[in-house]
Structure 1
Amino acid sequence: MTTALISDIHGNVDALKIVLADIESRGIERIICLGDIIGYGPNPLECVDLVMAKCEFAMLGNHDFAVLYEPTSFNASAEQSCYWTRQQFEKEEDPEKRKKRYTYLGNLSIRKQTEMGLFVHASPRRPINEYIFPDDTLTAPVKMQQIFDRIEQRCFCGHTHVPGVFTDEPDFYPPKDLGGTYTFTDDEKCIINPGSVGQPRDRDPRASYAVMTDEKIEFVRIEYPVQDVADKVSMIPQLNDFLGQRLFDGR
């Protein structure tokens, strides 16, 4: 069954709607979210509602966790956006909607093993908040070995907002080096990052997601109205303008 992988939406409903429309146009019925539905962006409630309605399951991201509990090791703008996001949940006048959203976030999985592979938000070793950076393949070989020791064959994660494939050589391949598609092989473990829907950080401002079959995974980029999102961020005093401006540069 063909599966769409989305991650790191971060309250950017404009990007999410366009990605979901592209997924639907491909006839894909199964969508999995790798976490960070909220945080940073101006439309957290709408994003949670869409993920609830459209995704087969979703993972718990560090920003989702922070809204439920407390932000840990967040910078000032991320922490402030977390508290503002929580306020939006609390301001919901319909008690059933408020309860449904909180219950959904509270029941998100930290780690989920399926026939497709292992699903986490961050890493198999620390599923909520450990970054796996492309440079780790060169600068942190012990870390990469320990991470690969925790997966059977395939793992799917987000968190860094950088799309690409890690292999157990170890090495990292951005989508452009793969021609946009990675073919699975039985003799190679891999970790797949579909990139970020709502806040890409690979210097490409287009929304990023991935389409997976039994044989391969394809990385997809979609343009969305970045200016509209930046304008909405600028209208919210509790959100740092940088959170909108960074979207233009994909950083």
Structure 2
Amino acid sequence: MTKPREIAVLGDLHANLSALEAVLSLIDLEDVQEILCVGDLVGYGARPNEVVEMVQDRNIVCVAGNHDWALLGKLSPNYFNPYALAAIKLHQQLISKKNREFLAHLPLRIDDPDFCLFHGALPNPELFNYLQSYPAAHGSLDDFDARVGFCGHTHVPMNFLQSPGNSELEWHFKDDWLLGSEQRAVINVGSPGQPRDENPQSPVLFFNPQSGRIRLLRTPYNIAAEQKLIRKAGLPAILGDRLLHGI
């Protein structure tokens, strides 16, 4: 008998190694066959190389985020606020050649029979638009064929649900629910590396395509350690301070 597919999906990691280690420890307690990530491995935090290397070591399947593109010089600096730009400039200096090449080869989207993976919103993933409205959710759902799409970018977990025979989308923040066999959804998985939903614990989403069960679990991590490293790196203090409050 074929083993049911169990997938873990990570949001924006943002060079936060302590958060990544914590969510991977949580994943290791589950019967997971695949780990996905919606991009933004770098930016904001103090340990870009360590995060990119762990992603490679754990064979995490990733797409590119806007901060990854910025590090590679594919996005204008005008796209970013001064705090984000300070981290990008530092990471451009720190990132190893091997890790830069890994980031350069990340696709903008991955289409699988069970899911579509992208960073911001479809149909134009290279624009890195935010998926936080009904029109954006509709536009994304119309651009992939799978039952579910996973994205990040806003750092706020959110679910948009499409039911058969109903042109209106439902949205909710449930953290344990079933996706019906005839339903489709686009799901923002949040951000382990820099949560912004006023919960400082790092989220990870689990998806079982066979049962349709979707779970969002949270785990604490050593925020103080990351704050100390952010300060030591000379990055803006706000990038560490906000981690404590999940904003």
Q: Partner of 1:203 in structure 2?
A: 198
2:142 to 145, 149, 153: 149
Q: CA deviation at 1:71?
A: 4.2
Which letter does structure 2 place at the counterpart of 1:82?
I
Deviation of residue 127 (structure 1)?
A: 1.7
Output the CA distance in 2 between the equivalents of 1:230 and 1:56: 25
Does residue 1:4 correspond to 2:4, yes or no?
no
CA distance in 2, matches of 1:42, 1:208: 20
Q: Does 1:115 align with 2:113?
A: yes
- Cα distance, 1:25 vs structure 2: 2.0
- Between the aligned partners of 1:173 and 1:211, the Cα distance in structure 2 is 17
- Number of residues of Structure 1 aligned to a counterpart in Structure 2: 232
Would you say the 8 A contact 2:111–2:144 is kept in 1?
no
The 1:104–1:50 alpha-carbon spacing in structure 2 relative to 1, beyond 3 Å, is: same
Q: Which residue of 2 aligns with 1:66?
A: 70
Match of 1:16 among 20, 23, 37: 20
Name the residue aligned to 1:241. Answer: 237
SS at match of 2:28: helix
What amino acid is the match of 1:206?
Answer: Q
Residues in 1 aligned to 2:139 and 2:50: alpha-carbon distance in whole angstroms: 37
Whole-angstrom distance in 2 between the partners of 1:245 and 1:70: 29
Distance 2:171 2:204 in 1: 17
Give the structure-2-normalised TM-score. 0.89
How far, CA to CA, are the matches of 2:176 and 2:124 in structure 1?
27
User: Separation in 1 of the partners of 2:208 and 2:29?
Assistant: 16
TM-fit CA distance, 1:65? 0.6
AA aligned opposite 2:61:
F
Which of 184, 190, 195 is the matching residue for 1:189?
184
Give 1:173's aligned residue: 172
Q: Cα gap change, 1:55/1:165 in structure 2, threshold over 3 Å: closer, same or farther?
A: farther
- Kept in 2, the 8 Å contact 1:181–1:217? The answer is yes
Q: CA deviation at 1:20?
A: 0.7
**Structure 2 SS opposite 1:86:** helix
Alignment of structure 1 residues 32-71 onto 2, 5 Å: 32-71=36-75
- Counterpart of 1:216, as a letter, is R
Match of 1:146, as an amino acid? G
Q: What is the CA-CA distance between 1:74 and the residue it aligns to?
A: 0.5
In the alignment, what sits opposite 2:124? 126
Q: CA deviation at 1:34?
A: 0.9
What does residue 95 of structure 1 align with?
none
Name the SS of the counterpart of 1:132 in structure 2: coil
Q: Secondary structure at the match of 2:125?
A: coil
Report the TM-score when normalising by structure 1. 0.87
1:82-124 per-position Cα deviation (integer Å, ceiling 9, x unaligned): 01011101xxxxxxxx332122111101111101121101112
| CA–CA distance in structure 2, aligned partners of residues 121 and 113 of structure 1 | 13
Q: 1-side partners of 2:193 and 2:140: how far apart?
A: 26
Identity of aligned residues (%): 30
Deviation at 1:11, TM superposition (A): 0.3
CA deviation string 1:113-160 (max 9, x = no partner) = 101121101112232411012xx23xxx4x443332213232111111
- Asked whether the equivalents of residues 71 and 79 of structure 1 are also in contact (C-alpha less than 8 Å), the reply is no
- The alignment's C-alpha RMSD in Å is 1.5
Q: Any unmatched runs of 5+ in structure 1?
A: 90-97
**Aligned residue number for residue 165 of structure 2:** none
1:88 aligns with 2:88: no
